[in-house]
């Protein structure tokens, strides 16, 4: 008999379709698009005992173990799914799991668990949760935690720790994970007493989600998990002395901002990740409709303002649109909304936007004047600040400026690879442009890191927030597949596509087994160029074309998918793209599409690291580049 948790619906605990897991008894809910099938081999021997009884939520005090408290608190925080991997120091917690209505996704590597929690958080706006054992389990989470930290993603990582009596003794699988993760978490806790578990987890959720979000580690010793105490859940608001996540601008500052905006001649708005995280898209749209100011996006801000809007300029920075980078250098006012002037966005700081005054709207005071001096900082929630500005602001006289930017676009249009006809070759830009067309721009796209990530940003036009999930700050290869799997639980009805390179996909491709076991459906577009493409491009541009350690051999991705009971398709020409996309969408299993693209294509434009923002390497114009021919795509 297979051990399968069975949950009885309960009036007090919220029950949800997320719980649909490896439980064949849930046939009546099988119409859900949430992952619900499991293919687990039956154990050879030692059949598992019957499902343990459910722990009911209770108002008054009762005896619970630390392990039971962990799940009780998680359920009360609204957690329905966690991503994890068991091991010695977290076994008590796993033993108690079936008593609670939480779906557990067994990953193949803890890095995958962290990225899944991250992808869930980015797509839902809620806190994602991952679980691991001590030592190697916990250290395997580190890349995923750092990824979440760099992009301000709310995540709680629960790790088991060796018994408190053994701490400091180099015990088996002992790692000081709070020490290791100190610089890559918003906060972390080492909990070695059962009575501290509830406050620590409650605080972890509060810290992770409030203010500028971020990951929090809660490391819990095995003895704290095992011991029982009289437990009563505290549902009062969390209070942390000294922690003030909220900021508000002063009325005078708002008036100054209105004056600066109203008198600008060449203004430009920057839409950063903060717009998406603060759910401020509607407020930004209203601001743009009132002022008529054009909007440029950071990579993580894509979707925060509709790409197809008349005032949308596209992405800025290293691989941003040429007209955007030029406009930034010519602007007289930058209104930066929820972004942090990353070096990939600014290029050379000494020459950055030399004529522009900067209004910096930002929640985290540490970001003000960190990279770029703000003439007027507005500290606070970007949604609230836009609301306040919208009641005070009017149209800005910048029609000539908008016209000028439109003229700048002309030059780029003739260089645009997507306008090339089908010459029998398959270009990554074509694949992504076609994916956008065939999915009508509505899919949730999760990218990995490299050239394909930049082509996605350029050619998949996102009109809605939280429909692009990508690792910006840390640039973590291996992110995409597991993050997409996490996003699946946030958006059960979305069409989800992973866009990954052949290098990054191989880093976490083991999670295909998780897709198969847990019945998780995503589509995977491998942009297979046979190289670690982005590094190859730098070698071509800056290292004399010496391709050291960048040619990469891959397994047969079609067979790899099939080996996992999944589906695989190979595409070698543009004419096959549509059928492959349709087939992948129709398959109920995760489907890997191996797009064999041109091997030595490069992403243009490119601002070399540290160069002036408008000193871009441009795609050679048609006359000097044989790949250009006249004609249009269909």
Residues that bind ligand TPP (CB under 6 A): 448-452, 475-478, 501-504, 527, 529, 531-535
- How far apart are alpha carbons 444 and 331 in whole angstroms? 33
Whether 507 sits among the annotated catalytic residues: the reply is no
Q: Which is nearer to ligand TPP, 156 or 477 (CB)?
A: 477
**106: β partners:** 84
Structure tokens at 609: 């690291």
Question: Which residue out of 80, 110, 330, 367 is catalytically annotated?
Answer: 110
Q: Which is nearer to ligand TPP, 204 or 522 (CB)?
A: 522
Task: Say if CB 527 and CB 497 are below 8 A apart.
Answer: no
Whether 110 sits among the annotated catalytic residues: the reply is yes
Residues sharing a CB contact under 8 Å with residue 392, sequence separation 6 or more, in sequence order? 254, 255, 258
Question: Which residue out of 3, 172, 541, 542 is catalytically annotated?
Answer: 172
- How far apart are alpha carbons 399 and 495 in whole angstroms? 39
Shortest distance (Å) from residue 476 CB to ligand TPP: 6
Q: Which is nearer to ligand TPP, 327 or 592 (CB)?
A: 592
Q: Of all residues in this chain, which one has the CB nearest to ligand TPP in the complex?
A: 501
Question: Which residue out of 173, 247, 262, 540 is catalytically annotated?
Answer: 173
Q: Which is nearer to ligand TPP, 24 or 610 (CB)?
A: 610
Q: Which is nearer to ligand TPP, 433 or 452 (CB)?
A: 452
Task: Say if CB 360 and CB 378 are below 8 A apart.
Answer: yes
CA distances (Å), origin 539, targets 406, 547, 615, 618: 33, 6, 19, 17
Q: Give the single-character DSSP code of 338.
A: S
Shortest distance (Å) from residue 19 CB to ligand TPP: 33
- Helix/strand/coil for 117: helix
Shortest distance (Å) from residue 444 CB to ligand TPP: 20
- How far apart are alpha carbons 127 and 78 in whole angstroms? 9
In our burial notation (b when 16+ CB lie closer than 10 A, e otherwise), range 349-382 reads: eeebbeebbbbbbbbbeebeeeebebebbbbbbb
Shortest distance (Å) from residue 510 CB to ligand TPP: 15
The closest of 383, 384, 332 to 359, measured between CA atoms, is 332
Residue holding tokens 């029982």?
228
Question: Which residue out of 126, 186, 222, 357 is catalytically annotated?
Answer: 222
The closest of 408, 437, 246, 389 to 314, measured between CA atoms, is 408
Q: Which is nearer to ligand TPP, 385 or 534 (CB)?
A: 534
Whether 506 sits among the annotated catalytic residues: the reply is no
**360: β partners:** 336, 377
Length of the chain: 634
The residues annotated as belonging to the active site are 110, 172-173, 222, 534
């Amino acid at each position: 008999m297979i051990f399968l948790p069975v949950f009885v619906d309960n009036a007090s605990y919220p029950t949800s379709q997320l719980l649909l897991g490896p439980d064949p008894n849930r046939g009546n809910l099988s119409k859900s698009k949430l992952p619900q099938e499991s293919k687990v081999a039956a154990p050879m021997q030692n059949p598992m005992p019957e499902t343990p009884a459910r722990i009911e939520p209770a108002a008054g005090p009762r005896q619970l173990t630390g392990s039971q408290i962990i799940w009780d608190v998680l359920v009360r925080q609204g957690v329905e799914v966690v991503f994890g991997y068991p091991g010695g120091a977290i076994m008590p917690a796993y033993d108690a799991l079936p008593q609670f209505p939480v779906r557990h996704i067994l990953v193949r590597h803890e890095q995958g668990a962290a990225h899944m929690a991250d992808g869930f958080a980015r797509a839902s706006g809620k806190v994602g949760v991952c679980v691991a054992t001590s030592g190697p389990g916990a250290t395997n989470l580190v890349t995923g935690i750092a990824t979440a930290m760099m992009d301000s993603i709310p995540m709680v990582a629960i790790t088991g720790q060796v018994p408190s009596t053994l701490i400091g003794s180099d015990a088996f699988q002992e790692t000081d994970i709070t020490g290791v993760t100190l610089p890559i978490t918003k906060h972390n806790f080492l909990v070695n007493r059962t009575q501290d578990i509830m406050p620590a987890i409650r605080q972890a959720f509060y810290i992770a989600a409030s203010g500028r979000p971020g990951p929090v580690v809660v490391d819990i010793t095995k003895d704290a998990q095992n011991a029982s105490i009289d437990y009563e859940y505290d549902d009062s608001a969390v209070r942390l002395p000294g922690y003030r996540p909220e900021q508000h601008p002063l009325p005078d500052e708002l008036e100054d901002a209105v004056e600066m905006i109203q008198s600008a001649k060449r203004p430009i708005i920057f839409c950063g990740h903060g717009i998406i995280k603060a759910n401020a898209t509607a407020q930004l749209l209203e601001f743009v409709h009132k002022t008529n100011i054009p909007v440029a996006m950071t990579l993580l801000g894509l979707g925060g303002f509709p790409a197809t809007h008349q005032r949308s300029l596209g992405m800025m920075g290293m691989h941003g649109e040429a007209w955007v980078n030029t406009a930034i250098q010519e602007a007289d006012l930058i209104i930066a909304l929820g972004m942090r002037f990353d070096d990939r966005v600014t290029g050379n700081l000494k020459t950055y936007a030399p004529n522009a005054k900067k209004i910096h709207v930002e929640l985290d005071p540490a970001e003000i004047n960190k990279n770029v001096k703000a003439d007027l900082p507005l500290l606070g929630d970007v949604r609230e600040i836009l609301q306040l500005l919208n009641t005070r602001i009017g149209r800005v006289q910048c029609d000539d400026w908008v016209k000028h930017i439109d003229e700048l676009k002309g030059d780029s249009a003739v260089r645009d690879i997507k306008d090339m006809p089908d010459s029998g070759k398959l270009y990554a830009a074509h694949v992504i442009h076609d994916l956008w067309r065939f999915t009508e721009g509505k899919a949730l796209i999760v990218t990995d890191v490299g050239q394909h990530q930049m082509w996605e940003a350029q050619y998949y036009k996102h009109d809605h927030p939280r429909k692009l999930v990508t690792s910006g700050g840390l640039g973590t290869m291996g992110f995409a597949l597991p993050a997409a799997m996490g996003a699946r639980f946030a958006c059960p009805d979305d069409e989800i596509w992973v866009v990954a390179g052949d290098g990054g996909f191989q880093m976490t491709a083991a999670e295909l087994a998780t897709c198969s076991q847990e019945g998780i459906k995503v589509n995977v577009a491998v942009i297979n160029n046979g190289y670690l493409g982005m590094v190859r491009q730098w070698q071509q541009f800056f290292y004399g074309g010496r391709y050291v350690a960048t040619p990469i051999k891959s397994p047969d991705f079609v067979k790899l998918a099939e080996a996992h009971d999944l589906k695989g398709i190979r595409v070698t020409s543009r004419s096959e793209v549509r059928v492959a996309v349709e087939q992948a969408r129709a398959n109920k299993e995760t489907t890997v599409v191996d797009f064999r693209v041109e091997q030595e294509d490069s992403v243009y434009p490119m601002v070399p690291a540290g160069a002036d923002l408008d000193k871009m390497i441009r795609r050679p114009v048609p006359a000097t580049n044989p790949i250009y021919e006249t004609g249009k795509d269909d």
